[in-house]
A = this chain, B = another copy of it.
């Protein structure tokens, strides 16, 4: 099934890739066979680009694409949209800006929703990344927009995580950065033509220095003005250097893979839950004056065989 499509994908055909992604996103019949036939090895550098809204991530990614295309590299971008309707405006602007590369034969751009209606983050990002990798792109950028969990979770999919920040003042910065510090392999201080940029970058460097990374990687802090194409080459060099540094870091790869496997298993095990039925059963419960959620979960008819067997004896 899908043999022709798979052959196209492995030859780097963009239309085949797009179709494979759609099949996987929609969980079309037999989509798993595509994933199970993907080769395990490839050279794609998977780069997560994250940071607070307004840091200029899309402009930066855009500048990175331009620079990489000049070096004759192929680039794929997965833009992870927050599910919040509040960010549509900002998003639209981003996509439009990135539009200049939409028709380039060596560029592939795809948007994905960060989460489903009910339940956790879509493991589809892992699956789609693997499809892109199989298509043989040199770089895959996964850009997450927004506040929330997406930036943390993208760190589990990417080989290298770039955290984009802008120069700020204020006493909550230090603590705020601690959350991003955990996931950053590279810091980019964008909009570095702002006044406080030097002090900010210096402080960030001091903070970054306190974090000991496995394999002795020192988190670089790179200043950029994405809109003027400043600092872009430095970022690409840092990405390449990091990729080289972590390749063969067994422990890191192990944790990343185990985490991916866990997420995929979780998705698989929850697939048979009929969410509509769950909702309607909860609705019935609500109409009773008193009920117990834990008893419901053990007794519900909404779950298949598999769920039932999970019941404690």
A residues bordering B, Cβ < 8 Å? 32, 35-41, 52-55, 82, 84, 86-87, 90, 118-120, 130, 146-149, 152, 166, 168, 170-172, 175-176, 178-182, 250, 253-254, 257-262, 264-266, 268-273, 275, 278-279, 282-283, 285-286, 288-298, 303, 305-307, 309-310, 312
A291 partner residues in chain B, CB cutoff 8 A: 40
A296 partner residues in chain B, CB cutoff 8 A: 261
Residue of A55, A260, A270, A303 with most partner-chain B CB within 10 A = A270
16 contacts between A and B (CB under 8 A): A32-B298, A32-B312, A38-B292, A39-B292, A41-B290, A52-B172, A52-B176, A55-B172, A86-B181, A87-B178, A90-B175, A130-B294, A147-B180, A148-B152, A257-B286, A264-B293
**Contact status of A310 and B36, CB under 8 A, knowing A55-B172, A147-B179:** no
The contact of A279 among B171, B258, B260, by CB within 8 Å, is B258
**Contact status of A176 and B53, CB under 8 A, knowing A254-B279, A278-B258, A297-B265:** yes
A294 & B36 in contact (Cβ 8 Å cutoff): yes
A179 partner residues in chain B, CB cutoff 8 A: 53, 82, 84, 86, 146-148
Which chain B residue shows the least CB distance to A290?
Answer: B40
Cα distance, A289 to B40, chains bound together (Å): 8
A84 & B182 in contact (Cβ 8 Å cutoff): yes
B168 & A170 in contact (Cβ 8 Å cutoff): yes
Cα distance, A137 to B171, chains bound together (Å): 36
Cα distance, A37 to B298, chains bound together (Å): 13
The contact of A282 among B175, B257, B278, B310, by CB within 8 Å, is B257
**Contact status of A175 and B306, CB under 8 A, knowing A254-B279, A269-B269, A289-B41:** no
B306 & A264 in contact (Cβ 8 Å cutoff): no
A149 & B146 in contact (Cβ 8 Å cutoff): no
Known: A36-B294, A38-B294, A309-B309. 13 other contacts (CB 8 A): A35-B292, A36-B295, A39-B290, A52-B176, A84-B182, A130-B293, A148-B149, A148-B179, A254-B283, A257-B286, A266-B269, A269-B270, A306-B306
